[in-house]
Amino acid sequence: MQSTGPSGAAYAECAVVPLRQAPAGERPDGPPRYAPEWLRLREPVDAAARARELLDPLRGRLADLPGRADGLVVHDVGCGTGSMGRWLAPLLDGAQHWVLHDRDPYLLHFAAVAAPRTAADGSRVTIETRRGDLARLTPDALTGAVLVTASALLDVLTGEEVGRLAAACAAAGCPALLTLSVAGRVDLTPAHPLDAEITEAFNDHQRRTGMLGPDAVAAAADAFTGHGASVRLHPSPWRLGPDEAGLTAPWLRGWVGAAVEQRPELRTRADRYLDERLAACAAGELRVVVHHTDLLALCRPTGGDS
């Protein structure tokens, strides 16, 4: 399970994720929950960050597919409230059916009510939701898929889960567009002597519960190439300036909070650091680049009847 900080925040991927109260009947120490408010806050910044450079090779692969005229079946894993579909569906031509997977039924509800409706060429987009844990993903779950997508997911998975995802995509013979995995690097302007130590402690915090954190993209690239896929990577950094202060402030709190949780000896210096950073953010004087990487894996087609 992912750790939960003393302030009630669970730290995941590159940012603070305010932890919702566990619903009645659920263990409070279950897997981390992602607040829809947090996902809503990051959605426009995520949309600006995802690497459109990977879309042409993806479109090329999709154009060659037999049966494409019947519409594209896309599986978005770890969909949260569905931001990947809202971004990508209108960038692809043709009718699409999105299958949205998540283990959190609360987020799936949000995904269902804010589903994309129209493709780039005006064709219809439909969706369905599926609750389930990727730890139990089987190749059968992707039957009929022509594309698998994910966003801000890989770094919160274990190596085993990433391996399972790659194996399932390879068995289905479908490409995978896996966006916005943290790269473990953050650039803050102006610089501060504590930046590097906080970054390192945050990265260690991500890894400590077995999640891949900043090692996720390399692990996924290895897993997909091991199945014979060709893999392309492209940077997809968040660029946070004064206009994004509403995201930067909670991100800073979570980032520093996780670092302190990992290395309690940082607390006094980190508290001061956070106060300074939040003041600069509020004054419009802070710029942050949070580095991410997008990955496109073109798996060997299996013959069109996967």
Instruction: Collapse the DSSP code of 13 into the 3-class scheme (helix H, G, I; strand E, B; otherwise coil) and give the result.
Output: coil
Q: What is the DSSP letter of 30?
A: S
- Which of 54, 134, 145, 166 is close enough to bind ligand SAM by CB under 6 A? 134
Check residue 2 for interaction with ligand SAM (CB under 6 A). Answer: no
- 63: Cβ contacts below 8 Å, ≥ 6 apart: none
Check residue 152 for interaction with ligand SAM (CB under 6 A). Answer: yes
Check residue 83 for interaction with ligand SAM (CB under 6 A). Answer: yes
DSSP of 51-89:
-GGGHHHHHHHHHT-TTGGG-EEEEEET-TTTHHHHHHG
Measured CA to CA, the distance from residue 273 to residue 252 in angstroms comes to: 10
Name residue 278's amino acid: L
Q: Give min distance, CB of 135 to ligand SAM, in A.
A: 5
Smaller CB separation from ligand SAM, 151 or 206: 151
- Which of 70, 133, 271, 276 is close enough to bind ligand SAM by CB under 6 A? 133
- Which of 9, 10, 11, 12 is close enough to bind ligand SAM by CB under 6 A? 12
Check residue 294 for interaction with ligand SAM (CB under 6 A). Answer: no
Check residue 48 for interaction with ligand SAM (CB under 6 A). Answer: no
Footprint on residues 25-44 left by ligand SAM (CB under 6 A): 34, 39
Are β-strands 96-102 and 125-131 bridged in parallel, bridged antiparallel, or unpaired? parallel
User: Left if phi > 0, otherwise alpha if psi is -120 to 50, otherwise beta: which for 96?
Assistant: beta
Tell me which residue of 225, 236, 240 sits closest to 293, measured CA to CA: 236
Q: Give min distance, CB of 275 to ligand SAM, in A.
A: 27
Check residue 216 for interaction with ligand SAM (CB under 6 A). Answer: no
x/- mask, ligand SAM, residues 93-132, rule CB under 6 A, reads ---------xxx--x-------------------------
Measured CA to CA, the distance from residue 300 to residue 298 in angstroms comes to: 7
Window contacting ligand SAM (CB under 6 A); options: 152-160, 166-174, 227-235, 255-263 = 152-160
How open is the CA angle 137-138-144, to the nearest 5 degrees? 110
Check residue 275 for interaction with ligand SAM (CB under 6 A). Answer: no
Residues forming contacts to ligand SAM in the complex (CB under 6 A) are 12-13, 34, 39, 46, 78-80, 83-84, 102-104, 107, 133-135, 151-153, 156, 161
